[in-house]
Amino acid sequence: MNDNVLEKLKTLAESAKYDVSCASSGTTRKHTQGSVGSASGWGICHSFTEDGRCVSLLKIMLTNYCMYDCAYCINRRTNDIKRATFSVSELVDLTIEFYRRNYIEGLFLSSGVVRNPDYTMERLVRVVKDLRLIHRFNGYIHLKSIPGASRELVDEAGLYADRMSVNIEIPNETSLKTLAPDKDFQSVYLPMQYIQQGALQSIEERKHFRSAPRFVPAGQSTQMIVGATADTDKDILNLSSNLYQKPTMKRVYYSGFVPVNEYDKRLPALKQPPLVRENRLYQADWLLRFYQFSVDEIVDSSFPNLDLEIDPKLSWALRHPSLFPVDVNLAEYEMLLRVPGIGVKSAKLIVVSRRFGRLSSWQLKKMGVVMKKAQYFITCNELPFHHTVNELTPERVRGLLTKGAKKMNDSQLLIPFQD
Amino acid sequence: MLVFRYDKSFEGLLTAVFDGYTRREFPDLLLGEADMPPLFFDEIADIYTDTEKSTRVWNGLKKRMSETALYMLPEVWLSELPEVDMLLFRYIRKTFDSKQSIELNFGDPDVMELTKIWKHVSKERLRVIQFVRFQKTSDDIFFACIEPEYNVIPLVLNHFTDRFHDQRWLIYDSKRDFGFFYDLKKPVEVHLDGKQWDGNGCLNDQSAAEDEKLYQKLWQGYYSSMTIKERINPRLHRQNLPVRFWKFLPEKRK
């Protein structure tokens, strides 16, 4: 441990930071005698960087040497950046010492591809295996599966990692082929399938033998880059929705494209990353996972892209004014969830507390309902004192709700593609 | 106006509930022993904390509400907010006077208020779990100093005992001047006189372990490399990482 390690740490963190996955959730594990640490089911963020993203795991690359030349990646072979490689003992020591000081929840290990996918994967597996078996590390481990890695290695890795992920990066194969000539969908989907099969098999085995080993108990995740290709939100969300059908897929992350290789003419020139679009995609993702929306309700061929000015739920509600107003004292939970301004928490509060008596707008406000939005879509004890969306027309409501909002920075709307 | 005077302890509050039901009259105001009484009042009744009475109230509550709601009460008490005792008093009375548990009646202002305070306390508890930063001392104790807004250190002990069961640690609340020391068996409450750390909770050079500075430097280096410059968002940053914790975090120290 010395300044040399500090330099390596900086270089490899710099290379790993564009991976957005950060969650340390999905596994609950108490300490066992002789081991270090535990895992808490909901995940804990230990710090936040100045861009507002959380630091939960020690997100690091084993090496940033890479034989691939993907246009969107900072670590592409042709980039002239500082390269470094950690030794197993350095990485293990850093993880344990950081963990003991409560800096991190665990390790998120990724790597550039050196020699071939299997060689790289084998080295990653060796680190996690050492950490778990020799150093008895019991905290969270998220391991990146290298695209194209063989089944045997994924099967072994799954025994030590809590979560594994393979990044799709680009939502359709033709664009992927253009930007990353060395990759194809096969190399991404196969490891994904191995992980799923391993996990399902382990669940089945554990029904018969309680001591059967767990296999990636926190499931898998993936990530897509937003704004690097001409794909619409419809393409992206349809792909996410399909991925969520898989039993082990827990999260799909969206990463606003940060132009790290500005010289590459295959990529659009952006003044700044498409942060608003990224945010809207996350909101749509939440609608899919927690609000019982289906993907065709959020985007379809007539609305292939999400509205950047208003959130997807409000946008859906304004397209379907005939379903409103909703009576909060009578409506079903599923319908409450669809009201703009009512979230999962407030919908649950409404359902349990309306048994005790009719609810009024001041009570809804205290429960956390955003009345500014919800007032046009609900009736309760005394509402509507305003007109609802039906009398006001959706355009008027839209105008009222976007009035005074900060003017959109149109550098994000403008994506000049060159073909 | 009836005033109850008690010792400002949770048991004292439960005793006050018991005495209220015995007297069949309830206070309009709760005072601590040192507080000034208001200008006009009819009677001040002194409440003598009695574990037998408070246990009976506690057991009564146990029968009338779910365990989750029951343990909210002492946690809300730890918020140490000025009016919180009267709120708890009203909540407990409503629980006893109602046929069914009131814990889910969020239309009731007291239930909502109590839930809200409980959420604040839980959030602060979570923040302590997130932002405690241990420093290794020369005698291999992991020391952390923090100043939570509410008195939540007692609520994080289970988490830290489970996670760091094989290392000796000390978490100190420098605002309330007490802490808990875990010596590989169970955490015990301690009060320290000779402080070996500065205002930022930083250990002195002679009491810190040899490699402590190095790991802090490594962590700082890692932290600053993780920031994506194109996405800087100071407002979100401060929202997630409140400024009041900054002085205790090595990564935010200059």
Run of H or E including B3: strand B2-6
Identify the closest residue of chain B to A53 by CA–CA distance.
B237
Nearest to A9 among B142, B166, B218 (CB): B218
Question: With bands split at pLDDT 50, 70 and 90, how would you rate the model's confidence at B145?
Answer: very high
Q: A6 vs A21, A54, A391, B227, CA distance in Å? A: 24, 21, 64, 16
The answer to whether the CB atoms of B163 and A31 lie below 8 A apart is yes
Q: What is the mean pLDDT of residues A366-382?
A: 89
DSSP A110: E
Q: What is the mean pLDDT of residues B190-195?
A: 86
Strand partners, B137: B208
Percent of chain A with pLDDT over 70: 95
pLDDT digits (tens, 9 = 90+) for A164-209: 999 999 998 888 988 998 888 998 999 999 999 999 999 999 999 9
pLDDT value, residue A32: 86
Helix, strand and coil percent figures for chain A, each rounded to 5: 40, 10, 50
pLDDT value, residue A3: 79
B66 CA to chain A: closest CA distance, Å? 15
ipTM greater than cut 0.90: yes
Label residue B234 exposed, middle or buried (CB < 10 Å: 0-12, 13-18, 19+): exposed
Q: B138 vs A99, B183, B206, B212, CA distance in Å? A: 18, 16, 8, 9
pLDDT value, residue A50: 92
- Does residue A113 surpass a pLDDT of 90? yes
pLDDT digits (tens, 9 = 90+) for B74-128: 999 999 999 999 999 999 999 999 988 899 998 899 999 999 999 999 999 999 9
A91 CA to chain B: closest CA distance, Å? 12
In this structure, what token pair is assigned to residue A317?
């509600």
pLDDT value, residue A413: 47
Question: With bands split at pLDDT 50, 70 and 90, how would you rate the model's confidence at A123?
Answer: very high
Q: What is the mean pLDDT of residues B223-229?
A: 91
Residue A250 has φ and ψ, to the nearest 5°, of -95, -40
Q: Is the peptide bond before A325 cis (omega within 30 degrees of 0)?
A: yes
B231 CA to chain A: closest CA distance, Å? 5
| Interatomic CA distance for residues A217 and A28, integer angstroms | 9
- Does residue A409 surpass a pLDDT of 70? no
Q: Sign of dihedral through CA atoms A304, A308, A311, A317?
A: negative
How many pairs of residues across A and B have Cβ atoms under 8 Å apart? 149
Identify the closest residue of chain B to A103 by CA–CA distance.
B133
- Does residue A419 surpass a pLDDT of 50? no
Q: Is A44 on the interface with B (CB under 8 A)?
A: yes
| Interatomic CA distance for residues A10 and A262, integer angstroms | 22
The C-alpha R_g of chain B, in whole angstroms, comes to 22
* Residue A2 or A260, more confident: A260
Contact list, B104 vs chain A (CB under 8 Å): 352-353, 355-356
List the Cα angle A38/A44/A47 in 5-degree steps: 125
* Residue B198 or A142, more confident: A142
| Interatomic CA distance for residues B13 and B4, integer angstroms | 10
Strand partners, A137: A36
Run of H or E including B77: helix B67-77
Locate all alpha helices (DSSP H) within A75-172, ordered by sequence. Answer: 88-100, 117-129, 151-160
pLDDT digits (tens, 9 = 90+) for A50-59: 998 999 999 9
The C-alpha R_g of chain A, in whole angstroms, comes to 24
pLDDT value, residue A21: 85
Residue A37 has φ and ψ, to the nearest 5°, of 95, 180
Q: Which of A355-359, A362-366, B146-150 has the highest mean pLDDT?
A: B146-150
Range with lowest mean pLDDT among A163-167, A240-244, B100-104, B192-196: B192-196
B214 CA to chain A: closest CA distance, Å? 8
Average pLDDT of every residue of chain B: 92
User: In A, residues 250-269, which contact B (CB 8 Å cutoff)?
Assistant: 256, 258
Whether A361 and A380 have beta carbons less than 8 Å apart is answered as yes
- Does residue A343 surpass a pLDDT of 50? yes
